Amino acid sequence: VRRASAGLLALLCACSLVHEETRDERGALLRSFERDGAPVPGGVRARAQAKWPELTLSFTSFELCRHEQVNEYAQDHIIEKTAPSAGPELATGVSTSLVGLGLFLARGLLSNTPNTSYIDGGGNYGPSDRTVAAGWSYTLMILGVPALVMGTVTLLQTGEKVTTSKVEEIASARDAPCNEKPVDGRVELLPPEGGAGKAFPTHEGVLVLRDSDLRGAPLGKVTLDGKPVLLAESEAPVVERYLACVRALPAPEQAALADWPQERLEAAADTAHECELVSGSPAKELARALQAELERRPTGPPIPQGPRIASFDEAVAAYQPALHIGPRGDPPSRLAEPMLQSGTAVQLQGMLLERVEANIAIIDVQGVRVLVFLPPLSPWVANLDNGSRVEVVGVYQGRQRLGSTEGPLVRAVWARPGM
Amino acid sequence: VKRCLAAGWVLAAACNGPPAPDAAVCQDFIHRICIQPICSAVTSNIILTGDCETTLLARTGCSADSFTFTTPDRDRFLACRLPLLRAGDAPDTPPNCDDVQDVMTTCLDVVNFLNTPVADGGP
């Protein structure tokens, strides 16, 4: 028991820790290369083709193929082991062991006569000097040798180990639809506010809709077998123009136009102009009639500047915008929805980028460029500077192309600088 | 370091020498109870006719190197000696009188041994 206790104590005394720290250091760029990742399931997309009175939607399923730009680097994986106690432990082990060994070897020089001046409780004399020296030598060696061994082992474990390997870093990745193939299923035309919509089956991936299929049922979302269908950005104007025809046609009686309010007349004229772009649409006559009615009426500012609208707040109160596009409101993608009706009152917050015409400004709304018609005679137009933040209340007029810029067009009722 | 030194001291102290002769054990016992000032427990239980140590060594025969324990035997004598070491095991350390009283109360055979001359049937 005495020896076991001494051994355990020796181990406790000799106990030490090795601290391990791992770090990676990136080296030089070895090479750059491109690669294609494995395709992942994408979804269903549709292409649209309008030829009045039909709208042909072609549905294809697609996968997403990832194209990656990869940089390959050399990287050092460094494992650093330190043991702050190894040095003192080794020094203690060496000195203690040497003293113990010295005492053990020199014990023969000491007297072996017991200490007769003292008798212990068991009736024995005290140990001789040689016995005491031997006891101390055993003790010192029991403590010193493990410390010496542990210190040596610990010291051998310390150091730095460096492993160099190649690592890849994906500098950029681009997902693009691929592996497209026609897909059949049950197409549902859902209203924007939710609920059930009309359903149609496709044939060989194609669905041909007529104006009667869309009349009276505002289009919000299209699904195929319950899965949402993506409409390519380039396809959206096609659908939008076709929907404009659905709203504009059949043309109202010529005589009835005289009773229309100015605003409705202007919105209808815009819609008719948009519909004219659909192949085979009979909107030319309607557009001409609406234009004639507009020209017949006295000219003036397109947006009422009368006593009812005298401030931004009054414009908000009078028009009650359905959409509030801005940082704390609706996302600007709402302006790209094909089902958004022309004539919808909207409120925008963005930055006035430039004036491309005398009465057209481009406003950046969270990355989306919105064309805004600014009535030139309006007193508040002079307050709007390029590069400043503006807030606009206006009426959505559909998508328009102006030079190289295509985007939603909003006719401003009132605009003011700042937020 | 302190733990290591303490462990070394314990190991070194655990060593001891050969058994002391019965005469040396007896002489040590008598020497301890006769250290001045002598406790009243000694004077009231043991008959002293002169110098304490001289008297008792002569009465018990412990002064002879050939002395050996009979009654009480060596183990009993050593057990009765233990209270005298509580104050310190150095030979000239005077024992506490309470410990001496303890010996005189619990070791009547030893008291009897100390009071009985060797010629009268002592060891």
Q: What is the pLDDT of residues A91-127, one digit of tens each?
A: 999 999 999 999 999 988 999 899 888 898 899 998 8
* CA pair distance A325, A410, nearest whole angstrom: 12
* Higher-pLDDT residue of B6, A188: A188
pLDDT for B5 equals 62
Q: Is the pLDDT of residue A9 over 60?
A: no
pLDDT for B76 equals 94
Average pLDDT, chain A: 83
Give me the mean pLDDT over the B77-105 stretch.
93
Give which of A139, A140, A141, A148 to mutate to test B binding, by max B Cβ within 10 Å: A139
* CA pair distance A275, A282, nearest whole angstrom: 8
Q: Is the pLDDT of residue A390 over 80?
A: yes
Of A44, A37, A39, A32, whose CA–CA distance to A173 is shortest? A37
A70-79, A175-184, A229-238, A308-317, range with the lowest pLDDT: A229-238
Chain A interface residues facing chain B, Cβ-Cβ under 8 Å? 2, 6, 9-10, 12-13, 92, 96, 114-128, 131-132, 134-136, 138-140, 142-143
Average pLDDT, chain B: 87
Q: What percent of chain B has pLDDT over 90?
A: 68
Return the top range by mean pLDDT from A208-212, A249-253, B27-31: B27-31
Distances (CA, A) of A2 to A103, A139, A252, A346, B17: 21, 11, 114, 92, 18
pLDDT band at B34 (very low <50, low <70, confident <90, very high): very high
pLDDT for A307 equals 45
Give me the mean pLDDT over the A183-205 stretch.
83
Contacts of A126 in chain B (CB under 8 A): 16-17
Asked if the Cβ–Cβ distance from B3 to A128 is below 8 Å, we say no
pTM given for the model: 0.40
CB A70 within 8 A of CB A34: yes
Return the top range by mean pLDDT from A118-122, A148-152, A399-403, B104-108: B104-108
* CA pair distance A201, A15, nearest whole angstrom: 79
Question: In chain B, whose CA is at the least distance from the CA of A128?
Answer: B17
Asked if the Cβ–Cβ distance from A116 to B28 is below 8 Å, we say no
* Higher-pLDDT residue of A289, A396: A396
**What is the torsional sign of CA B63, B68, B71, B72?**
positive
pLDDT for B119 equals 59
pLDDT band at A8 (very low <50, low <70, confident <90, very high): low
Q: Is the pLDDT of residue A66 over 90?
A: no
Asked if the Cβ–Cβ distance from A125 to B17 is below 8 Å, we say yes
Q: Is the pLDDT of residue A394 over 70?
A: yes
* CA pair distance A323, A245, nearest whole angstrom: 23
pLDDT digits (tens, 9 = 90+) for A334-359: 887 777 788 889 999 888 888 877 78
Q: Is the pLDDT of residue A15 over 70?
A: no
pLDDT band at A165 (very low <50, low <70, confident <90, very high): very high
Give me the mean pLDDT over the A53-74 stretch.
90
Q: Is the pLDDT of residue A305 over 60?
A: no
Q: Is the pLDDT of residue A1 over 50?
A: no
Omega within 30 of 0 (cis) for the link into B37: yes
A160-174, A261-275, B14-28, range with the lowest pLDDT: A261-275
pLDDT for A266 equals 82
pLDDT band at A22 (very low <50, low <70, confident <90, very high): very high
Which residue(s) pair with A46 in the sheet? A59, A231
Q: Is the pLDDT of residue B122 over 50?
A: no
Contacts of A96 in chain B (CB under 8 A): 4
Place of tokens 């072996």: A112
pLDDT digits (tens, 9 = 90+) for A236-291: 788 888 888 888 877 777 777 777 777 778 888 888 888 888 888 887 888 888 88
Give which of A11, A119, A128 to mutate to test B binding, by max B Cβ within 10 Å: A119
ipTM > 0.90?
no
Q: Helix, strand, or coil here: B50?
A: coil
